[in-house]
Chain A
Amino acid sequence: METFSFAEKFNCFVGKNGAGKTNVLDAIYYLCMCKSYISGIDKNVVRQGQPGFRLEASFDVDEKEMQVVAKVRVRKKKVFECNREAYKRLALHIGRFPVVMIAPDDTSLAREGSEERRRFINNTLSQLDPIYLNQLIIYNRALNQRNAALKQFAEDGSFNLSLMEALNRQLLEPAAYIYQKRKEWMGQLEVLLKENYAFISNKQEAVSCRYESKLSQANFEDLLLQNLDKDRYLQRTTAGIHKDDLVFYIGDKPLKRFASQGQLKTFVLALKLAQYHLLQKNKDQFPLLLLDDIFDKLDASRVAQLLDLLSEERFGQVFLTDTHEERMKAMAEKIQHHFSIFKIENGQLKNEM
């Protein structure tokens, strides 16, 4: 077991590749979001041969101390406690301690399919609005029921329109809520994205993001009926908020196809910072900012520039990882803030500077 005592502003984990730096960031993320950033499946983040893990943290929010404990056992229900009281549902914990992770593979947000972007939207809105996560859980459950019925119909060669209508109806209320919230918040996110991109790229080109949903053009109940033949043939629901997307543009062209590597990286960094500011403004609390290995391949002046930005008052506590111990030591001396460096070796805390 390792115990860390963190500085108010900057906390840096240094060590070789594979030493366990990201693991510490992920532990912080886990304590906020009830799941790992790296893998959604708990089994994958338990040390091999171990039955589970336990994380404890003490959060200071507005001078109030809160003790959070996560108890995870493979194949058992995980338990989260706040001030020694176990949550009845994990959803009640999410959003209490907002968190944003920035990692090297974030460009997958722009490069890969829409699922990645829906996950990003859901991650952001779950932290902003506790009802959103509930509605999402209900929607997914109702969707699974509908898909199971479509499969069953195909297998028996039967069909029951009343049952289909009853199952459709279960989707309407959560879908309407989720659509409304996504539209509302993604509009706000776009404003912040533009600001952050302009700042990081020195106003080189304009970017935008557009929330796209079939629900914006048609009534969802009508959509479900229109697509019924297709759904029956494919044995799954083809229209709905589970197909929404967030489309990114650079100038007026789709980012995915027209951006350079550098533009792509800058864009996703601006997007994550926009997420940070959206959470911070609406929760009246600084999210924890976790930066995993983002200084890699950056020259010293860019690193200094980024740390300067993060030193500003609109950012709270920052956790970062780096392989260059000396570079971070030099930074710590330059920056007029609390700056702790933790050296990680073989999954253990070696020393604190």
Chain B
Amino acid sequence: MNFPSKLIEDAVTAFSQLPGVGKKTALRLVLHMLQEPVEISEQFADAIVDMRKKIKFCAHCHNVSDDTICSICSGSGRDKTTVCVVESIRDIMAIENTNQYKGLYHVLGGVISPIEGVSPKDLNIDTFIQRIPKEGIKEIIMALSPTIEGDTTIFYLSRQLKDQDVKITTLARGISFGGELEYADEMTLGRSIMTRRLYDNDINKSQG
């Protein structure tokens, strides 16, 4: 693509570094900024620079935070004996949006995958293991993706925790709510049958 201005070209190059943004979309965004008052561009640039420079990662759970300790770890009304292990910050947002969980989190920053060159030492595992006795954690919920890599990570973590008195749970796997059985794939359906639950028990649990 040829540009009439070096300034435009630089801006297009900058935008097109973003994931999912190609050269054409970048140009559209740049031309849009050009039509808007200069203040808009200033605010835009400031917001990004501020975010990048001032953002902190929580010393306890590695969540994004404005302070040393994030709002979840320092929040009142949270169950501080339960910690939910997630892969990334996005997973925290997804679980928070369910309004079903009031415990703490721990962000690993990925899952173990030797193919991708990710080994346990590349993840926030040491800080996690240290947290458990220090904070008196009673239950750990492993909320990692149901993949080989997620499973490997869960098993690895449970091995590291084997001498500690803590309950380890994993997310239930099965048929999605509102889905129809005939569209579920065989693996999921087969697993759901293998790990079926007692119906009465379910009702008791949700009531009590």
Contact = CB atoms under 8 A, between A and B. Distances in A.
B119 interface: yes
Contacts of B153: 166
Interface string B165-203: 000000000000000000001110010000000000000
Nearest to A169: B155
Given A142-B148, A165-B159, A92 B185 contact: yes
Contact of A163 (B115, B117, B120, B187): B120
Contacts of A88: 185
Contacts of B185: 88-89, 92
A307 interface: no
A145 B155 contact: no
Nearest to A134: B187
B57 interface: no
A contact residues, range: 20 to 34
B186 A167 contact: no
Contacts of A131: 186-187, 190
Contacts of B119: 149, 152, 160, 163
A311 interface: no
Interface of A is mostly: helix
Given A92-B185, A131-B186, A162 B160 contact: yes
A95 B113 CA distance: 32
Interface in A87-141: 88-89, 92, 130-131, 134, 138, 141
B80 to A, nearest CB: 28
B160 A148 contact: no
A170 B114 contact: no
B151 interface: yes
A144 interface: yes
Interface of B is mostly: helix
B156 interface: yes
A148 B113 CA distance: 9
Contacts, number: 56
B159 A148 contact: no
B186 A166 contact: no
A2 B155 CA distance: 54
Contact of B152 (A89, A144, A152, A170): A170
Contacts of B149: 145
Interface string B106-136: 0000001111010110000000000000000
B113 A145 contact: yes
A32 to B, nearest CB: 19
A134 B160 CA distance: 30
A165 B157 CA distance: 12
Give the residue among A134, A138, A144, A145 with the most B Cβ atoms within 10 A. A145
A161 to B, nearest CB: 9
Contacts of B115: 144-145, 148
A144 B114 CA distance: 9
A145 B114 contact: yes
B114 A162 contact: no
A162 B161 CA distance: 11
B156 A166 contact: yes
B148 A162 contact: no
Contacts of B151: 169-170
Q: Give 5 nearest A-B pairs by CB, closest first.
A: A148-B114, A149-B114, A166-B155, A166-B156, A162-B159
25 contacts: A92-B185, A130-B186, A131-B186, A131-B187, A134-B186, A138-B148, A142-B148, A145-B114, A145-B148, A145-B149, A148-B114, A149-B114, A149-B119, A152-B114, A160-B119, A162-B160, A163-B120, A163-B156, A166-B153, A166-B155, A166-B156, A166-B159, A169-B155, A170-B148, A170-B151
Given A169-B151, A170-B151, 9 more contacts: A88-B185, A92-B185, A131-B187, A145-B115, A151-B114, A163-B119, A163-B156, A166-B152, A167-B114
